[in-house]
Amino acid sequence: MWINDRLYGRSEVKDEVLVELMRSGPMQRLKWVTQTGIPVKVAHHRTYSRYEHSVGVMLLLRKFGASQEEQIAGLLHDVSHTAFSHVIDWVMGNPKEENYQDSVLAEHIGRDPIKGILKRHGFDVKTVSELEHNGKYRLLERDLPDLCADRLDYAMRDTTYWLNADVKPCLNGLVVRDNEFMFDSVTAARKFGNYYMKCQKGYWGSPEWKVRYHLLSNALKIAMDKKIIGMDDLYRKEQEIIKKVRVEGDNEEIRLMNLALGNVKYMVCEDGDIVLTKKKRYIDPKFIDRSGKVMRLSQVDAKFKELIRSERSARKEDRARIISR
């Protein structure tokens, strides 16, 4: 199976288990799940799907010699995502953690056809599904502020699509030492670190995205309370859900959804009636200095250290007011 990837180029994947998983219904469904949770027309730039990201994580792990099992885990790590991705954490999860999909991952991997594919090729379903608990896949998943394949892939994709910046120097500077991703120079580490923080402050954690998440999640909550949509619907295509709410819904949920997906105008203010909260993201990438010593970027870059301090100390919640008519 040949894959043309925006970041990693053209690759051939011959492993039957990986090919079968990529072609399976649960993985193909991710082609209709927007990575950032808000459909492409609203993003004002090209976005990508959870499928593209998931395959990308697998390709990155493959590029750096991860085991076949870790590649499988990387491919499947987002298979439990609902439509609108992390917006669901504002509906029934925790927006400060964005971990609803993690809580149901084992359940999704434990169903056929994924379960059958894994068993047929001799892989343990439980091990593959416990990404963050078994400590086995150290290239795939690590806690902040470290680098991992998941974090690297989505950051490089959003840097490419949102910032329209060239991530080749970052990708070319990646190395693995002691089963951990790091950079081969402070230059590459600084470039990636600054790209990541720009994405966090201007995109993932921006007031606009928090406002849109708030509005869309409230529209979905009302639609679910009224039985217009159910949990099964959340595993359908995003545009199908939007259409269903607009056709079968009442004024309030339609109004909220239209604001979330339209040209919403808002202001951040102390007396705002909307509480904005979202997961904090920050990294402190490791790199190998000229002497061969492993260092963190914050140890040698005072400006980047201040960026981390600012993100970590930022208020957990802001308030905003919608001013669209």
Q: What is the CATH number of the domain that holds 294?
A: 1.10.3210.10
pLDDT at site 284: 98
Three-state SS string across the chain, please? CEEEECCCEEEECCCHHHHHHHHCHHHHHHHHCECCCCCHHHHCCCCCEHHHHHHHHHHHHHHCCCCHHHHHHHHHCCCCCCCCHHHHHHHCCCCCCCCHHHHCHHHHHCCCCHHHHHHHCCCCHHHHHCCCCCCCCCCCCCCCCCCCHHHHHHHHHHHHHCCCCCCHHHHHCEEEECCEEEECCHHHHHHHHHHHHHHHHHHHCCHHHHHHHHHHHHHHHHHHHCCCCCHHHHHCCHHHHHHHHHHHCCHHHHHHHHHHCCCCCEEECCCCCEEECCCCCCCCCEEECCCCCEEEHHHHCHHHHHHHHHHHHCCCCEEEEECCC
Burial 152-183 (b: 16+ CB within 10 A, else e): bbbbbbbbbbbeebebeebbebbeeeeeebbb
Domain presence at residue 8? no
Residue 3 lies in a domain: no
* 40 assigned to some structural domain: yes
Instruction: Tell me how far apart the alpha carbons of residues 226 and 230 are, in angstroms, rounded to a whole number.
Output: 9
174-177 and 180-183 strand pairing? antiparallel
The predicted pLDDT at position 44 comes to: 66
Taking the C-alpha atoms of residue 34 and residue 73, their distance in angstroms, rounded to an integer, is 20
* Total domains present in the chain: 1
How many residues can be counted in the chain? 325
Handedness of CA 239, 240, 244, 245 (dihedral sign): negative
Q: Torsion angle, CA of 3/285/72/127, rounded to 10 degrees?
A: -170
Domain housing 300 = 14-206+279-313
Confidence (pLDDT) at 130? 81
User: Residue 316: its pLDDT value, please?
Assistant: 75
Judge whether 325 lies within some domain: no
pLDDT in tens, the chain (325 residues): 999 999 999 999 999 999 999 999 999 999 999 998 988 666 566 789 999 999 999 999 999 999 999 999 999 999 999 999 999 999 988 888 888 999 999 999 999 999 999 999 999 999 998 865 567 899 999 999 999 999 999 999 999 999 999 999 999 999 999 999 999 999 999 999 999 999 999 999 999 999 999 999 999 999 999 999 999 999 999 999 999 999 999 999 999 999 999 888 999 999 999 998 878 889 999 999 999 999 999 999 999 999 999 988 887 788 999 997 5
Does the residue 256 lie in any domain?
A: no
pLDDT (0 to 100) of residue 280: 83
Q: How far apart are CA 87 and CA 107, in angstroms?
A: 20
Q: Which of 201, 177, 210 is nearest to 288 (CA)?
A: 177
Q: How far apart are CA 218 and CA 215, in angstroms?
A: 5
In a domain, 264, yes or no: no
What tens digit of pLDDT does each residue of 118-154 get?
Answer: 999 999 999 998 865 567 899 999 999 999 999 999 9
Q: Residue 94 domain-assigned? A: yes
Q: Are strands 274-276 and 318-322 parallel, antiparallel or unpaired?
A: antiparallel
pLDDT for 317 equals 83
- Tell me if 271 is assigned to some domain: no
